[in-house]
Amino acid sequence: MDKEERYQKLKDIIKIYLPEDVSVGDISEESHFINELNINSANLVDIILDVEDAFDITLENDDMDQMQTVKNALEIIELKLSSK
C-alpha cells in the first residue's frame, strides 16, 4: 500500500466522524483533527480504533497523543507498518 492509498483510507475513516459543518473536501494532510475538522475527543478515539483495525496496527498512548493532524496520523501509520 503506497502513501496515497494510506491517505485515502485514512480520509475514508475520518469522513464518518466529521460534523455536519465540515465536508470531506476540508480534509488535507495539514488538517488538525480538533481545531480544523471539529472532531471531538470521543470521535477521535473512534478514529484511532478504526485506524488500528483498518491498518492492522496497535497504537500506544504516546502515538495517540502525537496524532494531532492528518499528517501526524499518516506518519505514525507508516512507522507502525514499517516496523511490522
Domains of the chain, with CATH numbers? 3-82 (1.10.1200.10)
- Which candidate, 25, 77, 22, places its Cα nearest to that of 48? 77
Please count the residues of the chain.
84
Cell output for 78 = 507508516
3-state DSSP: the chain helix, strand, coil percent, rounded to 5?
60, 0, 35
Q: What pLDDT was estimated at residue 84?
A: 80
* 12-63: pLDDT as tens digits: 999 999 999 999 999 999 999 999 999 999 999 999 999 999 999 999 999 9
Cell output for 7 = 491517505
pTM over 0.85: yes
Q: Which residue has the cell 466529521?
A: 18
